Amino acid sequence: MASDENLISLIGKTAFDPSLWETVLPSLAELGGGWGAQLIGSHTTDLPTGAAYHLSNFDAGKLSDWIELGGLESARNPRARIFLKSPSSEIFADRDLAGEQEIRRNPLYQTIYAEVDVPHAAIGLFGKSHGVNHTLTVCRSNTQGAVDNMSKARLSGVLPHLMAAIELRQWLEIAGVKIRTDTLEAVGVPSALVDHRGRIVYLNSAAEAVLKTTTRIYVRDGKLCAQSLDVERSIETAIARATSPFGRLRNNGGVSRFTLPVEPEGGMTLRIAPLPDEPYGLNTGGVAILIFDPSQGSRAPTGRTFQQFGLSRAEARLVDAIVSGMSPNEAADNNGVSILTVRNQLRSIYRKMGVNRLTDVIILSKKL
């Protein structure tokens, strides 16, 4: 284990390199005399659906059983009572949150906690920022025993440093969102940025203009809705799948396969594009929604794309199709070629345009 000073230094560096949590979490576990550690950021006590992030160096499993036995409820799970506390640098043990008799009778302790060998835990609610509660849990086995005062003191000493690193990382990610919004505004692609809860955090002026001229899609209660109930449900499903912290969609080019027709016969479509995030990032799960409306003249300038980047005529036609809202499969059908040919053309397009995602192709083409 790193010394306390080295660990504190490493925690600070996670703000700039989130992959370092892979090293920090086992060190936190050892600092607290345990075998596992997890950091959870939650908007509510409704975990995992309320989770903003979940960093862990172990897989406890049995999540559905844990929920069924009241793991989310402070009345049934003593450890959930940490959310009833005020944020502080204090570390609590199980016996600080419930009496010995209650713990002995509690189904969670008698079944799941015993099976995954976590009968003891050190828990701290160490901060709140941007509406997110931040908690640290160190898991201890039956052999390691109950949390002692020395372990509490050592963990308490690092909690302020955890909070400082997380706040700095959030600030950096907010700055990153600002860069994205400035970019979307500059290139004029009708776009919205949506957080992991499906709420719109930004609409550029081009998207606002589209929403003013159509009733097919609109904003209600901070979310993008559609005149068609089926389309609206498809939007909700696409965003939920693309933003889920338990399984982000990833595929060729980083653009999800969700191209949603808002109206039939080649009309308005929506492309749901997961935004890239750092490993162990704190604001994971954002997406961009790109709006393509042929009636608004959204087709790509094939000639200029062809000339500026040295694309072949077939590659330029493919860019035109993609920017018009087609998926690669749809573009293959439209251009009369196989999907294998389209994939080979995309690799060549990425190389010539100096990008590695379909989203970048769309944005760069719109700048011309």
pTM for the structure as a whole: 0.57
Query: Going along the chain, which residue ranges are E strands?
Result: 36-42, 51-56, 92-93, 120-129, 132-140, 191-194, 200-203, 217-220, 223-226, 259-261, 269-274, 287-292
User: Which of 300, 218, 227 is CA-nearest to residue 263?
Assistant: 227
Say if 188-297 and 299-368 have the same CATH topology.
Answer: no
CATH 3.40.50.720 holds for 299-368: no
Between these two residues, 199 and 149, which has the higher pLDDT value?
149
User: What is the C-alpha to C-alpha distance for residues 118 and 123, in angstroms, rounded to an integer?
Assistant: 12
The answer to whether the bond into 301 is cis (omega within 30° of 0) is no
Give the side-chain half-sphere CA count within 13 A for 354. Answer: 4
Between these two residues, 208 and 257, which has the higher pLDDT value?
208
Residues 352-367 have a mean pLDDT of 77
Handedness of CA 61, 62, 64, 69 (dihedral sign): negative
User: What is the C-alpha to C-alpha distance for residues 368 and 357, in angstroms, rounded to an integer?
Assistant: 18
Whether 138 and 121 have beta carbons less than 8 Å apart is answered as: yes
Provide the pLDDT for residue 299: 46
Q: What percent of the chain has pLDDT over 70?
A: 75
Tens of pLDDT, residue by residue over 210-228, are 888 888 888 888 888 888 8
CATH of 188-297, one of 3.60.110.10, 3.30.450.20, 3.40.250.10, 3.30.1600.10: 3.30.450.20
Whether 93 and 78 have beta carbons less than 8 Å apart is answered as: no
Residue 157 pLDDT class (50, 70, 90 cuts): very high
CA 250 to chain centre: 12
Tell the residue number behind the tokens 């160190």, with chain if given.
Answer: 138
Domain chopping of the chain, boundaries: 4-170, 188-297, 299-368
Between these two residues, 152 and 180, which has the higher pLDDT value?
152
Tens of pLDDT, residue by residue over 57-86, are 776 567 678 878 888 788 999 998 998 888
Between these two residues, 277 and 206, which has the higher pLDDT value?
206
* Best-predicted range by mean pLDDT (30-39, 56-65, 289-298, 326-335): 30-39
CATH 3.30.450.80 holds for 4-170: yes
Provide the pLDDT for residue 249: 37
**pLDDT over 50 (residue 281):** no
